[in-house]
A = this chain, B = another copy of it.
Amino acid sequence: MVTSTGTNPPTYTTLKGMGLVNTAFKAEDLLKLRNGNLGIGHTRYSTTGISELQNCQPFVVDTLHGKIAVAHNGELVNASALRKKVMRHGVGLSTSSDSELITQLLALTPPMEELDTPDWVARIKNLMTETPTSYSLLVMYKDVIYAVRDPYGNRPLSIGRLVPISKLHSSGAGEADTEGWVVSSESCSFQSIGAKYYREVQPGEIVQISKNGVKSLSVVPRPEGDPPAFCIFEYVYFARPDSIFEGQMVYTVRQRCGRQLAIESPTDADVVSTVPESATPAALGYAQESGLPYVEVLCKNRYVGRTFIQPNTRLRQLGVAKKFGALTDNFAGKRVVLIDDSIVRGNTISPIIKLLKEAGATEVHIRVASPPIRFPCYMGINIPTKEELIANKPEFEDIAGYIGATSVRYLSVEGLVSAVQGGIESHGKDERISTKTTRFGHCTACLTGKYPVELEW
């Protein structure tokens, strides 16, 4: 996290740490950030770079005009060529992160003549012509933050409005009565800090946020004929269900995927259930469409954390059985349709099926609310290698046999796309879409191998 006082010259306060935000920082350190009245932060799993503190964002560098701070989400498809370009200019790169690369590109461009008045918007546009995707960026300079989404809109970026707490609650205001703007990859985060969803940054758009409010500066176009390419897996898996993309709630899209799955792959069974918690909207959708009763078959063991110590082979072999308890009464002697949101490697669903069968399920039909992943992502999503993906293994031929299920069916790519895009269309007149999305498109590269831009190596 970096905050700026927005004064001239500004003072920047930086705070970085590894781990969950809850535990990585001490309260006294967080308080130091209050020096500033604008700031950018970042949390993510590192993709290109190794997960170490030096790669932590935001990346801050001192330039001839003062410090800039950059946070980004995504992965540059032509990072390798851009690194060479920067190094050929004589710049040593101290990390493997795209953030440093972007920051040094902004420091380099455009020509160095015009030293006195840095035109950061021109430099950002220049950057956007050098790399088409995938990035959502926040660039902070003095008292301004630029929010930028790549021309393909591959990564999400939303703007929220901080409502004064006195309007939220009748209780007194005091220190807390902040008004302002916030920007986030996921709109769900707004509610947590008392902000309201305002709108999305559009593909290719550069939005300026300052004490004068939100202002759209420019939209950098895609090559003629190219549709947008918003990552469809944000809907399927990554986003929190209460986030809003393209005017629709993620939960509703997942529920629609479940309904579509019930249409494509109906099942002769007694009950429908979920692998908690992420598959629950799809499971409820499947239940509604199919008319089968929805029951819970698994309860989560809240105290099994990721750091569980496994002192012997016995516990290791028990594996997933430690994570879930079987709610036997709800399915013993019955045929179960179990909805999962995705099957990537195939090794977590298998012990769950075994658990259900041992506890009395007569049949376990797996219905997956997304298509099989078959291809790598070069735009920031950490997908296992092609060889690790179950859809590319010989076992996929008889996947039901491999994982021990009675039957297995996936949602079709067309079904997924229609579940996603059908919703956008029907929301066309929804007031929540503050900027009209006249045209849309989604990246399905990991499912189809069709990448939105030609890949350079």
Contact = CB atoms under 8 A, between A and B. Distances in A.
A108 interface: yes
A79 interface: no
Interface stretch (A150-158, A276-284, A375-383, A388-396): A276-284
Contact of A88 (B64, B188, B326): B64
A300 to B, nearest CB: 7
Contacts of A330: 251-252
A313 B174 contact: yes
B328 A242 contact: yes
Given A176-B314, A240-B299, A325-B242, A61 B309 contact: no
Q: Within the oligomer, what is the number of copies of this chain?
A: 4
Contact of A299 (B64, B103, B241): B241
Interface stretch (A18-26, A198-206, A224-232, A447-455): A18-26
A122 B103 CA distance: 29
Contact of A321 (B83, B191, B328): B191
Given A62-B87, A64-B84, A90-B89, A314 B22 contact: no
A100 interface: yes
A34 interface: yes
A192 interface: yes
B112 A90 contact: yes
A413 interface: no
B296 A93 contact: no
B31 A311 contact: yes
Given A31-B311, A64-B84, 11 more contacts: A22-B305, A22-B309, A27-B311, A62-B94, A175-B313, A178-B314, A192-B304, A193-B314, A251-B329, A251-B330, A294-B294
A325 B188 contact: yes
Contacts of A312: 34, 175-176
Interface string A95-125: 0100010011011110010010000000000
Interface in A324-371: 325-330
Interface of A: 16, 20-23, 25-27, 30-31, 34, 53-54, 59-64, 68, 83-84, 87-94, 96, 100, 103-104, 106-109, 112, 115, 165, 168-169, 171, 174-176, 178, 188, 191-194, 240-242, 249, 251-252, 277, 280-281, 284, 294-296, 299-301, 303-305, 307-309, 311-315, 317-318, 321-322, 325-330
A324 to B, nearest CB: 9
B325 A240 contact: yes
A287 to B, nearest CB: 9
B92 A103 contact: yes
A104 B88 contact: no
Contact of A242 (B91, B193, B326): B326
A165 B242 CA distance: 42
Contacts of A241: 299, 325, 327
Contacts of A34: 311-312
Given A92-B62, A92-B104, A178-B314, A321 B192 contact: yes
Contacts of A100: 94
A277 to B, nearest CB: 7
A165 B89 contact: no
A62 B188 CA distance: 38
19 contacts: A21-B303, A23-B307, A27-B311, A31-B311, A34-B312, A62-B92, A62-B93, A90-B108, A90-B109, A94-B94, A165-B317, A175-B314, A176-B314, A188-B325, A192-B321, A241-B325, A251-B299, A277-B299, A284-B295
A192 B281 contact: no
Contact of A308 (B22, B107, B309): B22
Which A-B residue pairs are the 5 nearest by beta carbons? A61-B92, A242-B325, A176-B314, A92-B107, A176-B313
A277 B27 CA distance: 30
A106 B94 CA distance: 13
